[in-house]
Amino acid sequence: MKLATTVFGHEFQNPILLAAGTCGFGQELEEVLDVEELGGFVTKSVTVEPRSGNPAPRVTEFGAGMLNSVGLANPGLIRTRSEKLPWLASHVRRARVFVSVAGHTVEEFFQLLEGLDGADGFLGFELNLSCPNDNNRGGPPFALDPEAVSVIVSGCRARTQRPLLAKLAPNDPDVGSTARLATEAGVDGITLVNTLPGLLLRAGSGETELGAGQGGMSGPGLRPAGLRAVREARAHTDVPLLGVGGVLAPQDAVAYARAGANLVQMGTASFAAPRASAAVIRGLKRWGARQGVASWDDLQPSRGVAI
Ligand SMILES: Cc1cc2nc3c(=O)[nH]c(=O)nc-3n(C[C@H](O)[C@H](O)[C@H](O)COP(=O)(O)O)c2cc1C
């Protein structure tokens, strides 16, 4: 199966990207994975100020995946521009890089775009509108507030010519309408989904398993929510979609394509097996050969599939 696909006017050598927050800025993967094998990756979310993140433990496992409350630990805007992006510019050629940005306020999103847009080393921005652990000054994520989605996306659109993605939430009951709204406000693509708010408690003590209390759920248990969100979004918008949530195997990536995703991201799978993405890329080729599917692009549903 031909895996190369052209999205946002750029060729991706394959449709598999690593998801935001699960591969640092790429450099962290040097010992375990050749990032140039990937379709691309999304950096961890960058905030205006550096952040040390939430109290430990920040990550815990359960039967259907993991719960994390990393709290957007990151080096902040200035060090991202002076250290992380120059490394990307000099080391990454084939993989397509998106920089994820997260504001606590609408204005911070604009500040991040203005501060990073002129730098080299990346293709586009992914707006993290949906972090359950740290967003909107402790209120609900921006992705659940239609007016905020419009204001942030249109303001960011005015500040960059690069491909602009909005990342939406799995617990949005009307994610199709949010996808349409984001499209009308000017995004080039939509990433679905972020982690789902969750809580794990110790039976004996009643204490929360994570230092911060609640967190975001990811992994195989999130896959049905991700697939539903992608299919809903596909019925409401024509822009490229990036499906994410619980992809472990080639068939999971194919399911996202069948739902309407043009590209697929993987996160939690890499924690258990750091080379999981490379295995999925190889497995997709084999899967296509077995099934007689010539090209990744052939998996897309026809327009306007209802849920
Ligand atoms: C440890 C961890 C950190 C994450 N950090 C971010 C982040 O900084 N920004 C973001 O948009 N999503 C973040 N996510 C969410 C992932 O990008 C992805 O949307 C989610 O994990 C679902 O995909 P998965 O089931 O393949 O992990 C994080 C997820 C995990 C597990």
Q: Sketch the domain layout of the chain as residue ranges.
A: 5-54+70-202+216-299
Q: What is the model's pLDDT at position 71?
A: 86
pLDDT band (50, 70, 90) for residue 307: very low
Q: What is the model's pLDDT at position 304?
A: 46
Q: Which residues contact 243 (CB under 8 A, 6 or more apart)?
A: 192, 226, 227, 230, 253, 256, 257, 259, 260, 261, 263, 264, 265
Ligand 1 first shell, C-beta below 6 A: 19-22, 44-45, 59, 66, 68, 70, 72, 100, 128, 131, 167, 194-195, 218-219, 222, 244-247, 266-269
Q: Which residues contact 212 (CB under 8 A, 6 or more apart)?
A: 54, 55, 58, 69, 71, 133
CATH fold of 5-54+70-202+216-299, please? TIM Barrel (3.20.20)
Q: Is residue 306 scored above 90 in pLDDT?
A: no
Which residue among 16, 22, 241, 263 is best mutated to probe the pocket of ligand 1, counting the most ligand atoms within 8 A of its Cβ?
Answer: 22
The catalytically annotated residue of 70, 97, 101, 131 is 131
228-245 confidence digits (pLDDT tens): 999 999 999 999 999 999
Which residue among 218, 227, 241 is best mutated to probe the pocket of ligand 1, counting the most ligand atoms within 8 A of its Cβ?
Answer: 218
> Which protein residue has the closest C-alpha to ligand 1 atom 14?
21
123-160 confidence digits (pLDDT tens): 999 999 998 766 545 678 999 999 999 999 999 999 99
Q: Count CB-CB contacts under 10 A for residue 76.
A: 15
Residue 265 Cα to ligand 1 midpoint, Å, equals 10
Mean pLDDT of the residues in the chain: 95
Burial 207-246 (b: 16+ CB within 10 A, else e): ebbbebeebbbbbbbbbebbbbbbbbbbbbbebbbbbbbb
Q: Report the percent of the chain where pLDDT is more than 70.
A: 96
Q: What is the model's pLDDT at position 223?
A: 98
Q: Is 131 a catalytic residue?
A: yes
Q: Report the percent of the chain where pLDDT is more than 90.
A: 91
Residue 174 Cα to ligand 1 midpoint, Å, equals 21
